[in-house]
A and B are shown apart, each in its own frame.
Chain A
Amino acid sequence: MAFIRTIPPEEAGEKLNEIYQGEIQEKGYIANGTKTLSLRPDVFEAWQNLLKTIRSKMRLRRYELVTIAAASALHCTY
Chain B
Amino acid sequence: MLRKNAFTAEELEAIARDFRHAGLSDQEVAVMEFAEKLTLHAHTIRQEDVDKLRAHGLRDEEILDVALAAAARNFWSKTLDALGTETDIQYLDLEPNVRKALQKGRPFAEGDICPFCFSTHITKTIRTTDGRELFFCEPCQMGGVLKPRNRYSELEKNQILEHYER
Interface residues of A (CB under 8 A from B): 1-4, 27-29, 31-33, 35-37, 47, 50-51, 54-55, 57-58, 60-78
Contact = CB atoms under 8 A, between A and B. Distances in A.
Interface in B83-139: 83-91, 102-108
Given A31-B88, A73-B39, A76-B105, A68 B80 contact: no
Contact of A67 (B1, B40, B79): B1
Contact of B73 (A31, A57, A61, A66): A66
A3 B65 contact: no
B161 interface: no
Given A73-B39, A77-B104, 4 more contacts: A64-B2, A71-B73, A78-B1, A78-B81
Given A51-B72, A74-B78, A78-B1, A66 B86 contact: no
Interface of B: 1-3, 5-7, 12, 15-16, 19, 24, 28, 31-33, 35-36, 38-40, 61-62, 65-66, 68-70, 72-91, 102-108
Contacts of B3: 60, 64
A77 B74 CA distance: 12
Contacts of A35: 85
Nearest to A27: B90
A54 B103 contact: no
A57 to B, nearest CB: 6
A44 B31 CA distance: 27
A1 B86 contact: yes
Nearest to B61: A57
Given A36-B80, A77-B102, A77-B106, A66 B7 contact: no
19 contacts: A33-B76, A36-B80, A36-B85, A37-B79, A50-B72, A54-B72, A58-B65, A64-B2, A64-B6, A65-B15, A66-B69, A67-B1, A70-B36, A71-B73, A73-B40, A74-B73, A77-B103, A78-B1, A78-B106
Contacts of B32: 65-66, 68-69
Contact of A68 (B16, B78, B105, B106): B16
